[in-house]
Amino acid sequence: MLVQQRTIKKPVSLSGIGLHTGTQCTMTFRPAPENYGIRFRRVDIGGSPEIPADVDHVVDVARGTTLGIGDVRVHTTEHVLAAVVGLLIDNIIIDLDGIEPPIGDGSAKPYVDVLQEAGFEMQEAPKDYLVIDQMVEYKDEKRGVHIVALPTDDFRMTVMVDYNNPALGSQHTGIFDLEKEFVPEFSMCRTFCFLHEVEQLRDAGLIKGGALDNAIVIADKDLPDEELRRIADKLGIKESIFLGGHGQPVNNKTLRFKNEPARHKLLDMVGDLALIGVPLKAHILAARPGHAANVEFAKIVRKLYQQKKIVKKYQHEKKQGVVFDVTALQRILPHRYPFLLVDKIVEFKLNERCVGVKSVSVNEEFFQGHFPGAPVMPGVLIIEGMAQTGGILLLDGSDTNDRLVLFMGINNAKFRRQVVPGDQLVYELTMVNRRSKVCTMRGEAYVDGQLVCEAEMMATIVDRPKIPQA
């Protein structure tokens, strides 16, 4: 696998109509600087607004993956993204003068061809791979979808499709070397649908640019010639339509591979997983994937990537069983002796949960007065320790040096038992609600598995006041 980022050497363009909108569009690929990522740019709109290719900007997944920002949209991005990722391109600008990329022949090959024509340029910055080190899983029991990412030292993908339709049956495929296999084995695999879906899709406002030369239509029911002609007229198809054998493409179109539908599903998934925003080292196993499931899985993995990025930013030394040690905590929190009341963070799930640990020593300063001869940790300091752990839970990748977390309210605080020297406090903070700069968390503190304190807390994030220089 490549270790450095790369872009293309020169701009290249192609034109055509979009599959679903039926609108004309010219798309131009342009070189981009290091760490730029993949971005679509609508040059037909004032200011040429940019849409980053990530799951945070997915606005629709109806028979394709649509990205948007504000009122600006780019439809059916998956084949373009598959071509970019399949060619191991990290940084690229994709200009469009319309709402949907040209569909070409329904595969990623037209985009691959022009990108290869542009050539590739290696950049100085290293690739920022996301290494999957534990199983990541997504399930949709209702649709029978199951997607898993497993640890491995490269990128692999295995896909199984089964539509419970005897016209297609069950198919599977796999890619084990993206650099060698994507272009010759997968890039030319075309989008497809069943004959019984065609009218439904058109009535739903889709496939306005669909034709028999940019999609495979699989015959899954017998229709008389007059019915086929009616469907063709409705779709604006001028050529005659005829059925071959059951389960064969309409008009006896030749499949490029026996399992071309499964291969196209893999291609779609490569494109959708580009929305994670970083190349993977993982083995992806997918049963019955589709755009909606792909995007939900990508959200899970992107969140893991953002979490790992935050940990890497503050924790410079890996320690078994520790997410943030006390040195990392001092990089994040403004608190110092004698008011830093967390020793380490042992669990951190972005915007979900954070677990901190505080070992209570008889040397704590507050025991001198609370109480002489009967040392008891003040309940307000247990709440403060939970609050500091909650401050870690609010990490989102932005610079903590410019922000302060201020608590706005503490509700339903209860103290269940005393905390004394020699105890080890475990603070468990769970996100209840987060909106913009205000959030609500539930905190619980335990000693030896017994609940000692609980409370609900509301906090806000504010800009840190600037200290005037002397």
Rounded percentage of the chain residues whose pLDDT exceeds 90? 78
Return the number of other C-beta atoms located less than 10 Å from residue 310's C-beta: 21
Non-local (6+) Cβ contacts of 96 within 8 A are: 25, 26, 27, 28, 40, 41, 42, 43, 44, 74
Which run of H or of E encompasses 70?
Answer: none
Tens digits of residue pLDDT in 166-176: 667 799 999 99
Return the number of other C-beta atoms located less than 10 Å from residue 320's C-beta: 4
pLDDT value at residue 114: 98
Q: b/e for 138-166, b at 16 or more Cβ within 10 A?
A: bebeeeebbbbbeeeeebbbbbbbeeeee
* Rounded CA separation 194/363 (Å): 74
Tens digits of residue pLDDT in 52-88: 999 999 999 988 999 999 999 999 999 999 999 999 9
* Residue 416 Cα to chain centre, angstroms: 41
Q: What are the structural domains of the chain?
A: 4-185+264-304 (3.30.230.20), 191-255 (no CATH), 315-463 (3.10.129.10)
pLDDT value at residue 208: 79
Confidence bin at 288 (pLDDT 50/70/90):
very high
Mean pLDDT to the nearest integer, 138-165: 93
Query: DSSP code of 186?
Result: I
pLDDT value at residue 436: 79
Extended beta strands in 209-293, E state: 216-218, 280-287
Residue 379 has pLDDT above 80, yes or no: yes
Mean pLDDT to the nearest integer, 276-299: 97
Residue with tokens 């600037």: 466
pLDDT value at residue 396: 85
Kindly report the pTM of this predicted structure: 0.88
pLDDT value at residue 201: 75
Tens digits of residue pLDDT in 419-460: 999 999 999 999 999 987 899 999 999 999 999 999 999 999
Catalytic annotation, residues: 291, 370
